[in-house]
Amino acid sequence: MRIKLENLKKYYDSIHAVDDISLDIPENTIFGIIGKSGAGKSSLVRLMSLLEAPDSGAVWYGERRVDNLPKDELIACRRKIGMIFQNFNLFSSRNAGKNVAYPLEICGMPKAQIKERVTEMLKLVGLEDRENAPISTLSGGQKQRVAIARALATQPDILYCDEATSALDPNTTQSILALIREIQKKMNLTVVMITHQMEVVRDACEYVAVVEDGKVVEQGKVKDIFANPKTKTTRDFIKNVLNDKEMVKWSDQTGKFHLHFTGKTPEKPLLSTIAKKFNVEFNIFAAGISHLPDEDVGYMNADIMGSDEEVSKVIAWLEENSVHVRKEQE
């Protein structure tokens, strides 16, 4: 289901937690919302998931405005969305299967049908043999799987993931992200992922919005944002992912230019073409590739040496070949 946010605002004691945010989230996709802690992303997800009402602005699910519903319609609407959390928030008084059964019980599904659906959901998340397991006997990854099964038991159109992988180790994070991607396709879900980890956006999301101080500072397709980040916040996030392991450095020095190769450009012999075509030389300091789900983005940090005129011709030529060039600010 398509989610539309219009000029959402929410204040807490004069703090602008959400300061005029508008977003258009297409249906059947995974949409990331990334921000540092305190950026307002948790407040934003509470508004989107109808846990709180905005001070002004509107939330639309498809053609329906949902931020101002009367109580019983609000409860009915919440039953059509799923949500998972950083701390899993499973009921410790219920075993894995009974946790999955909860959302079905509250909307009055007959017992036999609940039993069937619980089995089906646990199978979907790969925990069919743990139906009677107490929650405390499950690992973090298994807990999040149960939470996913519970969130999707009512077959909702929307799944909100509030820092869903932040408490998990890297390998478990990857397996949970893979599961979410798989289920998203299977159930045609609109998934909204709130996170502070750029890896999550890179590995799972098609679109991303970067939130800072309660505002959206940048948004678009993940591959475009990775290829050509416009704000410092976004660049910092991307830098954090790259520093992990994907950037190979030849020296501690950094060059004047950052080159971002997108689409099919990593496969073209651009640099050697330039060396033949123009009277410049390259000195490469670092380079790397980020693997996005359906496209790779290459990075290079380099000096381009030559006359100012030749250098600007090279930059223009690179931009024509869809390589984004950004000059280091001194």
> In whole angstroms, how close is the CB of 103 to other proteins at the nearest point?
5
CB-based contact 77:157 (threshold 8 Å):
no
Q: Mutual orientation of helices 270-277 and 308-320 as an angle, nearest 10°? A: 140
CB 191 within 8 A of CB 32: no
Stretch of 150-158, 207-215, 228-236, 309-317 contacting other proteins, by CB under 8 A: 150-158
Residues 172 and 192: beta-carbon distance below 8 Å: no
Binding of residue 87 to other proteins (CB under 8 A): yes
Among 18, 44, 47, 83, binds other proteins (CB under 8 A): 83
Quick one: 167 or 284, whose CB is closer to other proteins? 167
The answer to the question of residue 102 lying near other proteins (CB under 8 A) is: yes
Select 80 or 215, whichever has its Cβ closest to other proteins.
80
Answer yes or no whether residue 79 interacts with other proteins by CB under 8 A.
yes
State the DSSP string of 181-234: HHHHHHHT-EEEEEES-HHHHHHH-SEEEEEETTEEEEEEEHHHHHHS--SHHH
| CA 120 distance to own-chain centroid | 27
CB of 51 to other proteins, least distance (A): 6
Closest C-alpha to 239, from 249, 248, 247: 247
Q: Which of 78, 130, 202, 223 binds other proteins (CB under 8 A)?
A: 78
Task: Determine the interface stretch with other proteins among 16-24, 99-107, 122-130, 278-286 (rule: CB under 8 A).
Answer: 99-107
Given 12, 56, 65, 106, the residue binding other proteins (CB under 8 A):
106
Q: What are phi and psi of 130, to 5 degrees?
A: -110, 20
Cβ-based burial of 319 (10 A; exposed 0-12, middle 13-18, buried ≥19): exposed
Size of the site for other proteins (CB under 8 A): 32
Tokens found for residue 248: 């190979």
Span near other proteins by CB under 8 A; candidates 15-23, 88-96, 123-131, 210-218: 88-96
Point out which residues bind other proteins (CB under 8 A): 49, 51, 75-83, 85, 87, 89-95, 102-103, 105-107, 134-136, 150-151, 154, 160
